[in-house]
Structure 1
Amino acid sequence: MPTTKTPTTKTLRAGSAHKRAAILSAARELFLADGFDRTSVDAVAARAKVSKRTVYDYFGDKRTLLQAVVDAIGQSMISIIRRTLDDTLTDLTEAAGLEDALVAFSTRIATDMLGSAEYATLRRLVRAESGHLPHQDYNSMADTPDEAIAERFAAIAAAGLLDVPDPRLAADQFIALTFGVALDRLGSANAAEDPRVRPLIVAGVRTFLRAYRTA
């Protein structure tokens, strides 16, 4: 079996945010176009308009650079989730508006995040280059989206609109019932492009509310 190299542990430069972003952008484009094995650090440096030494100083090695690309996309996905939570599930005071708010949140996540080119890029990179990431099931977002939703459900419960003894469990079940169902059944969750997505989300939200809405 081929050996798996461990990403570098050398101390890396924080460096210029502009150069770092340029390197990540160049690496992302090349990893997608040519794959990890055929992408050289020289090519990344040339596309980013920096020296090869700068790439090594900022990221250490090519494997760490790939992980940084995946992590950067994951962080952008987390930002979408937090922004959507703030836009749709903040300061709720009336039980009557809860269903519409949860449907709006789920629909926007399904379309703006799961239906985005960024998410498609993340899935493609992780699927194609899993052998070069820290482990086969590497997830740059980890539990952050679930925890962010759980925190918001706890706040809604504190306002008296939900009864959620275990907010994290409620978040996991909500995800499974809404855009999770759309992904599993349709392979996509873009409500703007597929009219079958929204009815699945609405049904999932109503099922969730039957379990968790306060009496």
Structure 2
Amino acid sequence: MMSNLFSSFDPSSSILNIPLNWSSTILGLIFIPYSLWAMPSRWILMWTLVTNTLHKEFKILLGQKNSSGTILFVSLFSLIVFNNFLGLLPYVFTSTSHLAMTLSLALPLWLSFMVFGWINHTQHMFAHLVPLSTPGPLMPFMVLIEMVSNLIRPGTLAVRLAANMIAGHLLLTLLGNTGPSLSLSLLSILIFSQILLLLLESAVAIIQSYVFAVLSTLYASEVN
């Protein structure tokens, strides 16, 4: 029995005071060895097609000079999408619904981009603070606005992913808790609506992983 609506997102399962729910974050790694020794299946071929497509798209965003960095963002997409899909399974903790997880991904990436850009491309970073054709009196305000927009980037990345994952799970939980009190006819409608919501959550899991990876790639391309 849940003590409150958000208790399903609490990492409460533990053995010897060691939290076990966060272990779901590395469950996606068990699929990697299987793809190395098993015969190629349709799922492996489909995933290879997805990663190759992402590699080509990220290479365009980063440019040919920095195309070697695309493997980082493809791996980031893979990590997030595996965790998002694992969170749709019953009794599996959704780590990407916590800011502790999403900030741990977004903040180091943003800090590394900023440190690299300000050390190696200082003039380029200063030029980004003032857009082209900005009137002279508005330049101080534009610099302030651009600085604030840069500072909130890791927060927006983290909150966007966590909020979208929490919203869908809460809706599924709210509708599921009403099942025992419904009649048989209404229960069938509820089950059908839950299936549709689960399909929608599957699409959200992919889209939010893609958005996180693409925005990270765009932030990296701006410092070069």
TM range (shorter): 0.3 to 0.5
TM-score, normalised via structure 2 length = 0.33
| Structure with the higher fraction of residues in helix conformation | 2
Q: Which has the larger radius of gyration?
A: 2
Query: Which of 1 and 2 has higher RCO (CA within 8 Å, sep 6+)?
Result: 2
